[in-house]
Amino acid sequence: MAALALGVTRATVPEHRVLPELRVSAETGTIFVHELERELFLEAFSGSEDDDAPVTFRAHLWDHPDLPRWLRFMQRSPGQAGWLYGCPLAAELGTHRLQVLAYNRRTFATVSQPLVISVTPAPGGDAPFQAEFVVGDKDVEELLPEAARDLFLRGSAGVWERGDLRVINVTSALHRGGRVPLPIEGRREGVYVLVGSHSPFSPCLLAAVSPQSRSRCHRGQRPLASCYDTFAPHFSIRWCNLTLRQVWPSPTPPGPQWGSGVLEEGASFEPPSPAAPRDTLPSFLVTLLVPLAVAALLCLLLGHLMCCRREGVEKRDLQTSDLQLFHHSSIAGDTRELRAMAGSRDVPRPLSTLPMFNVRTGQRAHPTGSPRDRAPLLPP
């Protein structure tokens, strides 16, 4: 109605539709990836038959402007899909309610979809042995699909020589302080891929992070590792940036044991003992009397400095030599004599001291009398 009152037709008002709620699950210690498919939202746009329409996605918490701290959103361009990815930790257990908004940049229509992510603990717990690989020839959206992650895990299994591997997290190199690549074909921003396992590291991984390998990397040489070709030709690994870490879960303190809330038969209710009364008089006296005592001492000190430390004229004259006192008194006497002589002279006052107008009546008066009585400066 407001749009019609402003003279806007109903056809020009952007339409908004809401899709049904979508529920997905995530596990702690494992990467969570959710693809925002353009086709699904393009079908929801009313009257949109163009499959190439540019669509911009936005995602945020329900009734909040930001995403959870463990979740990232990525969309390279309006013509590509959007991605929600991240690794939840034990502190993020529970339900996270998000809202995904799709905006058609051609028809100005919008479609929203509630997204509920349920974070549950991993069955086997967090992986204690973690290796972070740096893939230099990929962008982050190229490693988010499940097929690309499975291919990377197959390469990691050849390096680790273990089968219980999982991708913990995928992070763009730009989020780790990397530089934006030049707009040249074949240049990529780089991706950090964190892989975890419950099995110890392989000798190849340990050799790649040894001091001898780090020394060779500083000299621009390849590190001491025999598993360079495991990821080839799909991924280019920067072995000099390989990081190994061993994380052990910290024991959690036991929480309070909650009962059913129903007394057993024959038991009596024992309320908690009341708190012992506290004597607040000493604290009150300290809070009130200490500032007053400090203020009184400061007043006494200031009064002593201002009143009791004054020298006086007599004390000053006693500490001054007779010659200096005579010199001062002679100057003061001569000054009084000159002032008396100037006051008794019968001479007219200077023009600069005469008033230009009467203060009480406001009537103006010329300092030398009437202008008619003055002789002209130049002869007529």
* List of residues 6+ apart from 6 with CB closer than 8 A: none
Task: Check pLDDT > 90 for residue 293.
Answer: yes
Quick one: average pLDDT of 261-290? 82
CB 128 within 8 Å of CB 248: yes
Which residue is it, tokens 């051609």?
106
DSSP-H helix ranges across 101-202: 146-160
Which residue is it, tokens 């400066």?
377
Distances (CA, A) of 188 to 67, 140, 178, 238, 282: 26, 9, 11, 13, 70
What's the pLDDT score for residue 355? 58
Quick one: average pLDDT of 343-366? 62
What's the pLDDT score for residue 377? 47
Segment 31-82, tens digit of pLDDT: 999 999 888 888 888 655 566 788 999 999 998 889 999 999 999 888 889 9
Q: Comparing 163 with 112, which gets the higher pLDDT?
A: 112
Enter the DSSP assignment of 119: E
Segment 214-245, tens digit of pLDDT: 888 888 888 877 777 788 888 888 888 889 99
CB 126 within 8 Å of CB 27: no
Task: Give dist(CA 92, CA 74) in Å, integer.
Answer: 21
Q: Comparing 134 with 307, which gets the higher pLDDT?
A: 134
Most confident of the following: 180-189, 227-236, 297-306: 297-306
Is residue 17 classed as helix, strand or coil in its secondary structure?
strand
Instruction: Provide the terminal-to-terminal Cα distance of the chain, rounded to the nearest Å.
Output: 91
Q: Which of 2-11, 331-340, 353-362 has the lowest mean pLDDT?
A: 2-11
What tokens were used for 372? 């008619």
Task: Give dist(CA 3, CA 17) in Å, integer.
Answer: 18
Q: What is the pTM of this model?
A: 0.61
Domain residue limits, the chain: 16-120, 129-246
Quick one: average pLDDT of 244-253? 73
What's the pLDDT score for residue 229? 77
What's the pLDDT score for residue 300? 93
What's the pLDDT score for residue 268? 78
57 - beta bridge partners?
102
Task: Check pLDDT > 90 for residue 1.
Answer: no
Q: Which element (helix H / strand E) includes 168?
A: strand 165-172
What tokens were used for 118? 């349920």
What's the pLDDT score for residue 59? 94
What's the pLDDT score for residue 369? 55
What tokens were used for 368? 């030398």
Most confident of the following: 116-125, 251-260, 364-373: 116-125
Q: Which of 65, 64, 82 is nearest to 73 (CA)?
A: 82
Q: Which of 7-21, 113-127, 365-379 has the lowest mean pLDDT?
A: 365-379
Q: Which of 157-171, 218-232, 277-291, 322-336 has the lowest mean pLDDT?
A: 218-232
Q: Regarding the domain with residue range 16-120, which homologous superfamily does it belong to in the CATH classification? A: Immunoglobulins (2.60.40.10)
For every residue of 57-77, DSSP letters joined together read: EEEEETTSSS--TTEEEE-SS
What's the pLDDT score for residue 169? 93
What's the pLDDT score for residue 50? 62
Task: Check pLDDT > 80 for residue 201.
Answer: yes
What's the pLDDT score for residue 60? 93
CB 100 within 8 Å of CB 57: yes
Segment 93-152, tens digit of pLDDT: 889 999 999 998 888 888 999 999 999 988 888 889 999 999 988 889 999 999 999 999
What's the pLDDT score for residue 304? 87
Mean pLDDT score across all residues of the chain: 82
